Structure 1
Amino acid sequence: MTMNSSGRNTILAEELYEKGWSVVDGYIADTFRKQLLKEQRELLQHGQFRHAGVGNGQNFAIKPEIRSDKVLWLDESELTPLQQKYWDTMEQLRADINQRCFLGLRAFESHFAMYPPGSFYLRHLDRFQNVQYRIVSVILYLNDDWSENDGGALRLYFTGSTGLEEYTDIFPLGGRLVVFLSGEILHEVLPTKKTRISITGWFKDEY
C-alpha cells in the first residue's frame, strides 16, 4: 500500500523533531518526478542555469574549490504549472512540520540544482550569518536511476549515541526527499561520477 502525503509528512516531521533529519523514498509520484526532470533538462539546455556560489549580497563569490554545481532559482511569482504543483506540495509539508515541530516556518525558497560529473560541495551548514532565516533544508532528487558506484552521496554529520560525531551517506535516488535542520546538520555532497539533479529548498522563518 502506498502511503499518502499526510502519512509521509507525519513520519518526516516526527523524525525531524527527534533527530534533526529525515529521509523519505518515493515522496512524489514517479510520473511527476519524470515531468520535473524533463522540465529541468529543457531549462538547462536553454542556458538558464548559472554556477552556484557561496555567501550572498556583497559577499557572494564563485568558488569552484568549495562547490561546483549549477543552479536555477525558482521565482514564486513566475512558476510553471509543474513548479507550482511542487510548491503546493512543499506548502503542505511546511504546515505539517510546523504542527509537529513548532519551528515557525513562514515561507519557502528553492532552486533546481545540477551537479555535473566530477562536481561536489564541501562540508558546510545551510544556515550561517547572512542567511539566519533558513530553518529547514529540503532536497528532492529527480534522477532516473542511481547506484552507489555513481557517487554523489549527500553526507550528513550528526552526534551519535556515544556523543561522538557520526555520519550517514544518502544517495540521490529519484523521488527521495531529504530534510534536515539547516543550522545544525553539517553536510557535504561527495564527488559525483554522473549528472546529479535535484530541487533544493529551504523553509524560512521570515517572508
Structure 2
Amino acid sequence: MTAAEYDDLKLKQDNDFDFDVDDYNQDEMEDEVGEDIPEMELLAMMDAEEDSLLIARRLFKLEVNPETLAMLKQEHLEALYQHGFVYIDGLVDLGVVAEARRVAGQLSEAGDMTPAALVRMEDDPFRDRKARDDVIMWLHRGQGAAVNPALDVILDKLEVIQRDLGQAIKLKGGVEIQLAVYKGNGGHYERHRDAFPVDDEEDEEQRRVTVVVYLTDENELNVGGGLKVFRPLGSEQTIDAVPGRVMIFLSGVVDHEVLPVYNMRAAVSAWMR
C-alpha cells in the first residue's frame, strides 16, 4: 500500500465513520461493518480522527537533561518527537556488527530460527503470509542458541538506548528483543505498524518505541532490503539498512515496509513498552 493509497483509505474512512478512539469497541465495530476490520483500515480510521503522532507526543516528558544521556543526543530525541523516527550511525562497532551477522547466518542455516510468517497467524488473518520470508528468534541474555559476545554487546547497547529513551518518553520498562534474518530470495515485509497509538501512561500492552540495529554488510546496500517509512502522513521515504545503523521510531505512529531483499539481511529489533 503506497502513501497515496493509504491517504485515500483514510479519507474514505473519515467520510464513512464517525469514529472516536476512546469509544472504540471491537465487538461493536464488527457488528457495524459485519466483519473483522483489517489492521490498516482500522489504523486509517484512527489517523483520520487524530494524527497518531499527536497522540504519541503526549507520552513525552517536558524536559530532558542532555548531560544525563549516555548514548543518544538531544537532537535525536527532538527528531523522534517532531517526526516520529530518527536513524543514527556510529553507535555500534562494525566489528561487532560483522560478528553478529555471522552468528545470525549460522543460526538461520542451522534451522534454529522460526519462519516469521508462521508466528501468531490467528492474530493477523489479513496479512499476506507469502509477503515475508524472514526467520526469527527471540533473544534473552545468556539463554538459547544465540548466546554470543557480539550479540551481548548489542543487547547492552539496547539497554542504554532504552534508559536514554526513558528520560524523554514515559515507558513502562518492558522490552522484547528479536533477531531476524531475511534469506535474500526477494522476500519483503508488507506495510504495517508495530502497535496502535497510545497516550495512556499506564498502558502495558502497546509497544511505544521500536529500535532496529542493522547487521548488514556494505555489499548489501545496493541489493534491496531498505526500510520504507510512511511519514509524514501522505509521503514515503526509504532508509538504507546501513551496517550498524540504529533506526528508532514510535511504534504506534510509523507505518513501515521492508523492501524486497536479494541478499541475506539480518537485524536485531527491540520493542519497548
- Give the TM-score, by structure 2 length: 0.63
Instruction: Give matches, 1:44-59, under 5 Å.
Output: 44-53=108-117, 56=120, 58-59=122-123
How many equivalent pairs are there?
Answer: 194
Query: What CA deviation, in whole Å up to 9, does each residue of 1:67-109 have, x standing for no partner?
Result: 2211111124615443332222111111111112x23240221
Q: Deviation at 1:125?
A: 0.4
Tell me the distance in 2 between the aligned counterparts of 1:39 and 1:156.
28
Specify whether residues 98 and 40 from structure 1 end up closer, same or farther in structure 2 by C-alpha distance, changes over 3 A only: same
**In the alignment, which residue of structure 1 is the partner of 2:134?**
69
Aligned to 2:211: 138
Give the ranges of 4+ consecutive aligned residues of structure 1 lying more than 4 Å apart after TM superposition.
60-63
Structure 1 residues without counterparts, runs of 5 or longer: none
Q: Does 1:39 align with 2:107?
A: no
Higher helix share: 2
Aligned to 2:58: none
Specify the SS of the correspondent of 2:117: coil
| Percentage of pairs with the same residue | 27
Kept after mapping to 1: 8 A contact 2:171/2:272:
no
Per mean C-alpha deviation after superposition, the further-off stretch among 120-129 and 175-184 is: 120-129
Rg bigger for which structure? Answer: 2
CA contact (8 A) 1:68 1:115 kept: yes
Which residue does the alignment assign to 1:196? 265
Which amino acid in structure 2 is aligned with residue 32 of structure 1? V
Deviations 1:24-72 (A, max 9, x none): 1122011111221122122223211111037738536795333221111
Q: 3-state DSSP class of the match of 1:37?
A: helix
CA RMSD of aligned residues (A): 2.6
Q: Are 2:87 and 1:23 aligned?
A: yes
> Is 1:95 the counterpart of 2:163 in the alignment?
yes
Say whether residues 1:86 and 2:154 are aligned partners.
yes
